[in-house]
Amino acid sequence: MFPFDVILFDVGGVLLTNGWDHRERAAAVEHFHIDPEPFEKRHLSIVDAWERDEVTLDTYLDTAVFFEPRPFPREDFFAFMLSQSRVLPNGALGILDELAASNPCMLGTLNNEARATNEYRFQKFGLRRYFKVMLSSCYVGLRKPEPVIYRRALDILGVPPARILFIDDRPENEAGAAAEGMKTIQFTGENALRRELQELGVFEAERDFSKIATKE
């Protein structure tokens, strides 16, 4: 019997680079020559609502960036934001592809992301073809690591928590899922994840043929 009914993946930091985290914002500051202090302060004042889909992309940009005249259009700034999304080096996209091909259980996402960037990333990198359920913060109106988002996920999935595996790179998000009874893995790289999945019985352990004596 396969050990899980559902495997949930975070996206940024596991499959792809983070969409709009501090490194990406720092790159925007440098590229557009923005004063970092008011930008970061205004970003933090609205990002929670933006990732819950309580405000639009335009409202986010008006608040965080275009609160004063800029020598560049918002389309250029948003295009730069999107350009920061890439396949994560040493990420789990290959493992996800293997799981989807073997189809042992339901695959889904549990991630914090604003609607505009989330839908771009799902489309750009073809993620929708892998997932049966997408519990993104912009769709459920909740964010990790709030306990309620994990409870909402359990309600939607209708699966005992012990039958759900959640993979995330941030310890606070992993801890939140574990507190609700889910099995969790903190993602640190592709090889480490593969080993942990083998230990859990998700993948078969690779045989070490060097230790098998050959017959002459």
- DSSP calls for 59-119: HHHHHHTTTS--SS-HHHHHHHHHHT--BPTT-SHHHHHHHHHH--SEEEE-----HHHHH
Tell me: pLDDT of 177 over 80.
yes
Residues 6+ apart with CB under 8 A from 154: 161, 164, 180
Q: What is the mean pLDDT of residues 35-60?
A: 98
Residues 129-151, mean pLDDT to the nearest whole number: 98
The dihedral built from the CA positions of residue 207, 209, 213 and 216, taken in this order, carries a sign that is positive
| pLDDT computed for residue 205 by the predictor | 66
| Domain boundaries along the sequence of the chain | 6-17+87-205, 22-83
**In the predicted model, is pLDDT for residue 141 greater than 70?**
yes
Q: Is residue 211 scored above 90 in pLDDT?
A: no
Q: Does residue 209 register a pLDDT over 80? A: no
**pTM summary value:** 0.92
CB within 8 A of 139, min separation 6: which ones?
Answer: 53, 115
Q: What share of the chain has pLDDT > 90, as a percent?
A: 93
What pLDDT score was predicted for residue 49? 98
Mean pLDDT of all residues in the chain?
94
3-state secondary structure of 134: strand
CATH class label, 22-83: mainly alpha
Average pLDDT of the segment spanning 54-68: 98
Yes or no: domain 6-17+87-205 corresponds to CATH 3.40.50.1000: yes
pLDDT confidence tier of residue 210, bands split at 50, 70 and 90: very low
pLDDT band at 116 (very low <50, low <70, confident <90, very high): very high
